[in-house]
Structure 1
Amino acid sequence: MSALDDDAYRAFRRDLHRHPEPAWCEFYTTARIVTELRERDLTELYVGPDALATDDRMNVPDDEALAEWEQRARDAGADPEIVDRLSGGYTGCVAVAERGPGPVIGLRVDIDALPVTESADADHVPAAEGFRSEREGYMHACGHDAHATMGLGTLDAVLDSDFSGTLKLFFQPGEEQVAGGKPMAESGHLDDVDYLYAVHVGLDHPSGEVVCGVDGFLAVRHFLAEFTGEPAHAGARPERGRNAVQAMAAAVQNLYAIPRHADGPTRVNAGLVGGGTATNVIPEESLVEGELRGATTELADYMSDHADRILESAAEMHDCEVDVSTKGEAPSATSDDALAGVVGEVAGETDGVTEIVDRADLGGSEDATYLMRSVQKRGGLACYVGVGTDHPGGHHTSTFDVVEGDIAVGIDVLSGAIRRVAETRP
């Protein structure tokens, strides 16, 4: 690949699109990225466990699932030496290119996919052109294949310029589970970063539109509550049972009753519930898997504190026990004006950009916020950029796709912003 080879970037993106992988299972994806990175003139390349604070990983699949995805990557032709380094689900990588004196600038892109079955309709471009997902039940339904491609292209464009400073590329796993941002943020690789950009394609902004600074990140916590009671015959001896489903039901009802807060929006959702084994058995086990959000980290903490109390109280009310674990989380964050301003300047000079939006709210959650706040708390600046694309289906749907020409727009805007930040040091 080179900074000018659009066909190579398209082929790379389509390869990733055919091989989507969920959080901590991005064996093929990471191996393909590392294979490409090894062709670049890098100073350092940190792979797998060397790119992460490994003790901070959350929501890691069990060994059987990891082994299955690892074998799929090998069968698909991923470099076995690289896959070996990722064993155990230590996916992702960090590339470092030192190019003389200057600031350290980071770019974060995410690489994981979603458990969504991709459309096979003839009018769905990946199906029509032969790069539909080969992992049935999983697809790149949020554009992370395009993000990874933008990361490579931005690296190429910066290396092909008179950039002076250090560029760090963070290829982050596990965003969809809000599980990968914290381990990468705590890895130590951000400790010397002065400026950080992150990027997302689409977000309901059309092709030609660039959002200079995205805000409105809802802080979030994903939780799993597992209730345990005592089984009994539901007809003959119901009094001997301790009903875990009753405890779960009480918890769900009261989670939705958490008072809203005057300081801003809050959210709660019990997205997955279950329990019991038969109609004539008092349920011994049940579960609630859900999420809590707030417009700020403090509001999310407010929701989380109330939820924990409700879950414990529901278990006690029905003489059950409950184990509550956090499966993923991310704080809120704000894009810094100075970096957003640079994006606006560069976007105004970039072919293919037809409209510049200074600010827009995400309205959801993103664990790039961990990396952003890590840089900001050390006195640096961070900004989340939106690159519009005419996606035919909404994010996280079976017909989601990107206009591949918009990947080049993202590369040009990001690489131009990075070069200008290095020159002007806002």
Structure 2
Amino acid sequence: MTARLRDRLTPLRRDLHRHPEPAWREFYTTHRLVEELRAIDPDGIAVGHEAYDPADRMAVPDDEEFGPWVERARERGADADLLDRMAGGNTGAVAWLDRGEGPTVGLRVDIDGLFIEESTDDEHHPVAEGFRSEIEGTMHACGHDAHMTWGLAVLEAIRDSDFSGTFRVFFQPAEEESGGGNPMAESGFAEDLDYLLAVHVGLDHPTGRVVAGIEKPLAMAHFDVTFEGTSAHAGKAPNEGDNAMQALGTAITNVYGIPRHADGMTRVNVGTAEAGTASNVVAERARVAAEARGETTELMETMKREFRRRVRAAAEMHGCEVDVDVVSESPRADSDPELVDLVADVARDVRGVEEVVPTADFGASEDATFLMRRVQENGGLASYLIVGTDHPTSHHTPTFDVDERSLEIGVDVLTDAVLELSERGP
């Protein structure tokens, strides 16, 4: 890595940290990425619907939710042509280098933020250094600002190297909603990948540790459930109502009663529940946001099927109609041992790496598994690696931050792995 590129990592990450945007609303983020990509001058850049089929997206918000985010991006100076190309929430990008004969290597990084209000505590590093989120109620609380920095820097480093083959970087939207992995995986940019690397910062691994590949990510499904009942006066004629509140309560009890499975870990969680309008009105509408997970894709499908069955039984018991919408999901995919070994070998020679762990259980969910599975089904290899960082609090908290020493480590590990794959061939 050149000294010039090394010096740009922290300022770039901090700039991206200031402008977090949630799933499918990463308008300014995509604009900034494209600005940086144009300066790098790769052989091609595809934005939004040029990078994937919008019909393959998951967890897409209603159209009216895009407007304020578009206007905010416009006010911050986002390119008007780019905003037009991202209409309808088609955010994200793919950039590539074509460098003759050799393997086709992909790197996937995610770009969305979270609906979390960032801490204003003077001891919080982004506050102390003046790069706290400028968008109230939204922050990069999972390190995606570092991931984007890696994607851009590795692309630039490979551009300036003797890499032979094709290199593509997937700047994927909507990871937090598990909505963007599927369209990226279904796109033409993924169909001929020989190798895929995906990466995450931290995850309770300290600065200086690299995990060469994860195992056992949980397959996952997100649900939106809506109960429709009949309102009535709760004092005068409660018998005339069909109580959506009761259906909701019964459904919550039912789904938490799904037995655990002998074949592996299973999970279910009701994250939000809302119903009713007043204390003297039988609730006619209720809504639940929930999820189910499984150690394998098959176990997740079992949980999904049981979830639906028990929710529908609760609705029927209380005379209500119910709609169970699977808004997004992701499969399980494990890192390939051959690629894990390669990543581990190159990581041991990277300055700042103090410990290399070949594999670790992931224990959560990630929609990069769509891309991993596509590559593996086509005969290629994939690995999801972790670059450790000393983060003061857990991911998805208001005081999350990354140790910026990890930025250089991540770029070097990823760049060296891509170059080693170029030497190996397809």
TM-score for the superposition, normalised by structure 2: 0.98
Q: Which residue of 1 aligns with 2:178?
A: 178
Q: Which residue of 2 aligns with 1:41?
A: 41
Task: Say if 2:294 is the partner of 1:294.
Answer: yes
Q: Deviations 1:105-144 (Å, cap 9, x if unpaired)?
A: 0000000001111111111110001100011111000000
Return the offset for 1:287.
1.1
Return the offset for 1:283.
0.5
Q: Deviations 1:364-389 (Å, cap 9, x if unpaired)?
A: 00000000001100111000010000
Q: Which residue of 2 aligns with 1:214?
A: 214
Q: Which residue of 1 aligns with 2:305?
A: 305
Q: Deviations 1:12-47 (Å, cap 9, x if unpaired)?
A: 211110000000000011110011111223222110
The CA distance in 1 between the partners of 2:7 and 2:254, in whole Å, is 54
Q: Which residue of 1 aligns with 2:268?
A: 268
> Could you say what secondary structure the match of 1:374 adopts?
helix
> Could you say what secondary structure the match of 1:366 adopts?
coil
Q: Which residue of 2 aligns with 1:193?
A: 193
Task: Say if 2:148 is the partner of 1:136.
Answer: no
The CA distance in 1 between the partners of 2:308 and 2:187, in whole Å, is 29
Instruction: Say if 2:42 and 2:159, in contact at 8 Å, map to a contact too.
Output: no
Q: Which residue of 2 aligns with 1:230?
A: 230
> Could you say what secondary structure the match of 1:247 adopts?
helix
Return the offset for 1:6.
2.5
Task: Say if 2:412 is the partner of 1:417.
Answer: no
Q: Which residue of 2 aligns with 1:357?
A: 357
Aligned-pair identity (%) = 56
The CA distance in 1 between the partners of 2:190 and 2:298, in whole Å, is 24
Task: Say if 2:67 is the partner of 1:67.
Answer: yes
Instruction: Say if 1:3 and 1:160, in contact at 8 Å, map to a contact too.
Output: no
Q: Which residue of 2 aligns with 1:125?
A: 125
Return the offset for 1:216.
1.8
The CA distance in 1 between the partners of 2:390 and 2:80, in whole Å, is 37
Return the offset for 1:2.
6.7
| Distance verdict in 2 for CA 1:2–1:19, change over 3 Å | farther
Moved more, 3-12 or 302-311: 3-12
Amino acid aligned to 2:195: Y
The CA distance in 2 between the partners of 1:215 and 1:124, in whole Å, is 32
> Could you say what secondary structure the match of 1:176 adopts?
coil
Q: Which residue of 2 aligns with 1:14?
A: 14
Q: Which residue of 1 aligns with 2:391?
A: 391
Correspondence 1:161-176 to 2 at 5 A: 161-176=161-176
Amino acid aligned to 2:169: L
The CA distance in 2 between the partners of 1:35 and 1:73, in whole Å, is 14
Return the offset for 1:64.
2.4
Task: Say if 2:324 is the partner of 1:328.
Answer: no
Q: Deviations 1:133-187 (Å, cap 9, x if unpaired)?
A: 0111110000000000000111111111110000010000000011111111112
Amino acid aligned to 1:305: R
Return the offset for 1:353.
0.4
Amino acid aligned to 1:388: G
Q: Which residue of 1 aligns with 2:245?
A: 245
Instruction: Say if 2:353 and 2:409, in contact at 8 Å, map to a contact too.
Output: yes
Q: Deviations 1:221-268 (Å, cap 9, x if unpaired)?
A: 000110001011111111111111111111100000101110001000
The CA distance in 2 between the partners of 1:107 and 1:74, in whole Å, is 29
Structure 1: runs of 5 or more not aligned: none
> Could you say what secondary structure the match of 2:40 adopts?
coil
The CA distance in 2 between the partners of 1:24 and 1:245, in whole Å, is 31
Correspondence 1:141-156 to 2 at 5 A: 141-156=141-156
Instruction: Say if 1:218 and 1:331, in contact at 8 Å, map to a contact too.
Output: yes
Q: Which residue of 2 aligns with 1:89?
A: 89
The count of residues paired between Structure 1 and Structure 2 equals: 426
Q: Which runs of 4+ in 1 moved over 4 A?
A: none
Return the offset for 1:3.
7.2
Instruction: Say if 2:59 and 2:178, in contact at 8 Å, map to a contact too.
Output: no
Instruction: Say if 2:158 and 2:415, in contact at 8 Å, map to a contact too.
Output: yes
Instruction: Say what the alpha-carbon RMSD is for the aligned residues.
Output: 1.2
Instruction: Say if 1:2 and 1:156, in contact at 8 Å, map to a contact too.
Output: no
The CA distance in 2 between the partners of 1:375 and 1:5, in whole Å, is 30
The CA distance in 2 between the partners of 1:134 and 1:7, in whole Å, is 23
Moved more, 36-45 or 379-388: 36-45
